[in-house]
């Protein structure tokens, strides 16, 4: 009987080992495939290959690894008078900063109301918001454009902030799941002490909700930082001083002043766009994961 158990245990261990090796091998292959385009973009951003006249040229087809490396593309990206990357970067930072401030406040406020307050039509509102969340935002793009045009806001950065922030409150579900975990007894005790809903939200709920605040802020920041569709529709290529980085980089390759030799500068711009997001995720990864997992406990 002991031999049978030993053989069975050995078989289970062998199967687990095979399964583990297979899983890790598959994940390694997928990670390698996923890294190929990222590494390629980074390498092309440092490409410093010259033509016969000694001028910096763009991407050389067939060369995954550039023969000459340098930082010329990064320098030219900020000195090219036709494409003001520095201005685009600041525009995008301006829009993303105010959007994440407004959106984070709206999302957390709605989440608190839906989690800790009880009122008529609460469940109806939650159901409607969930149904609306199933539809992609760009379906309303044309209607939004004409509304902004009637208000005289098209082409402005304020219009982008308004569009990105206006519907943020409907994305309260994850934050609500996090707030549901916070004991209602804390809220009730504060009410008995005469604390208002605003005081409960600011003095009790928010101090206990650092992970979900970080998660909400990161998602609110990434939206406008990487968005292309709404930026292209609302700003338009004619308002070049108000372009964002996503639309500005697009115009370098496909716009009216596009130049195929600018691809390496496009790659350099892509790297610079990714750096803030990477820094934010690396520095706040722990809180981001906690916010996602804790916010999925309840609906």
Do 173 and 91 share a structural domain? Answer: yes
Which residue, of 46, 74, 102, is where some domain finishes?
Answer: 74
Query: Which residues form the domain of 259?
Result: 78-294
pLDDT at 258: 65
Short-list 30, 213, 227, CA closest to 106: 213
**Angstrom distance (rounded) from CA 231 to CA 242:** 10
Domain boundary (58, 74, 90) is at 74
- Does residue 22 fall inside a structural domain? yes
Provide the pLDDT for residue 25: 93
Q: For residue 25, is it within any domain?
A: yes
124 CB-contact burial (10 Å; exposed 0-12 / middle 13-18 / buried 19+): exposed
Q: What is the CATH number of the domain that holds 183?
A: 1.10.3720.10
Asked whether residue 181 falls in the same domain as residue 251, the answer is yes
286 shares its domain with 183: yes
Residues 225-270 pLDDT 10s? 988 888 888 888 777 788 899 888 888 888 776 666 678 888 889 8
Please tell me the total count of domains within the chain: 2
> Same domain for 57 and 102?
no
- Same domain? For 82 and 52 the reply is no
Residue 295: CA atoms inside 13 Å, Cβ hemisphere, count? 23
Predicted TM-score (pTM) of this structure: 0.80
Both tokens assigned to 235: 């700003």
Rounded Cα gap, residues 87 and 288, in angstroms: 30
Confidence of residue 172 (pLDDT cuts 50, 70, 90): confident
Both 70 and 83 in one domain: the answer is no
Do residues 233 and 50 make contact, with C-beta atoms less than 8 angstroms apart?
no
Please check the confidence at residue 298 and state whether its pLDDT lies above 50: no
At 83 the pLDDT is 83
Residue 299 domain-assigned?
A: no
The last residue of a domain, from among 74, 90, 107: 74
Same domain, 70 and 129: no
Interatomic CA distance for residues 84 and 245, integer angstroms: 10
CA dihedral of 14, 15, 18, 21, whole degrees rounded to 10 = -100
pLDDT at res. 9 = 67
Same domain for 89 and 30: no
Instruction: Compute the average pLDDT of residues 44-60.
Output: 64
Confidence of residue 299 (pLDDT cuts 50, 70, 90): very low
**Same structural domain, 145 and 205:** yes
Residue 182 lies in a domain: yes
Tell me: the pLDDT tens digits for 97-148? 999 999 999 999 988 888 888 888 888 888 888 888 787 777 788 888 888 8
Q: Which of 205, 174, 169 is nearest to 187 (CA)?
A: 205
């Amino acid at each position: 009987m002991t031999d049978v158990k030993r053989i069975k245990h050995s078989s289970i261990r062998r199967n687990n080992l095979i399964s583990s090796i297979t899983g890790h091998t598959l994940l390694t292959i997928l990670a390698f495939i996923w890294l190929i385009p990222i590494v390629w973009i980074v390498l092309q951003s440092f490409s410093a290959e010259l033509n016969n006249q000694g001028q910096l040229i763009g991407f050389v087809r067939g060369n995954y690894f550039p023969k000459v490396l340098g930082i010329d593309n990064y320098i030219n990206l900020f000195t090219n008078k036709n494409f003001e990357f520095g201005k685009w970067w600041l525009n995008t930072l301006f829009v993303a900063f105010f959007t994440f401030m407004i959106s984070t406040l709206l999302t957390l406020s709605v989440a608190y109301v839906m989690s800790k307050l009880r009122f008529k039509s609460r469940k109806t509102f939650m159901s409607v918001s969930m149904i609306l969340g199933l539809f992609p935002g760009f379906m309303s793009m044309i209607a939004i454009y004409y509304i902004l045009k009637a208000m005289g806001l098209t082409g402005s950065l304020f219009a982008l902030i308004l569009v990105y922030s206006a519907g943020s409150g409907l994305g309260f579900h994850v934050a609500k799941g996090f707030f549901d975990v916070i004991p209602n007894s804390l809220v009730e005790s504060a009410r008995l002490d005469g604390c208002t809903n605003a005081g409960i939200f600011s003095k009790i709920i928010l101090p206990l909700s650092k992970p979900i605040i970080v998660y909400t802020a990161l998602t609110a920041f990434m939206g406008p930082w990487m968005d292309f569709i709404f930026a292209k529709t609302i700003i338009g290529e004619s308002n070049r001083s108000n372009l964002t980085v996503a639309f500005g980089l697009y115009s370098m390759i496909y716009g009216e002043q596009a130049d195929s030799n600018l691809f390496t500068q496009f790659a350099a711009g892509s790297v610079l766009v990714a750096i803030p997001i990477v820094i934010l995720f690396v520095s706040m990864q722990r809180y981001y994961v906690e916010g996602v997992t804790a916010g999925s406990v309840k609906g």
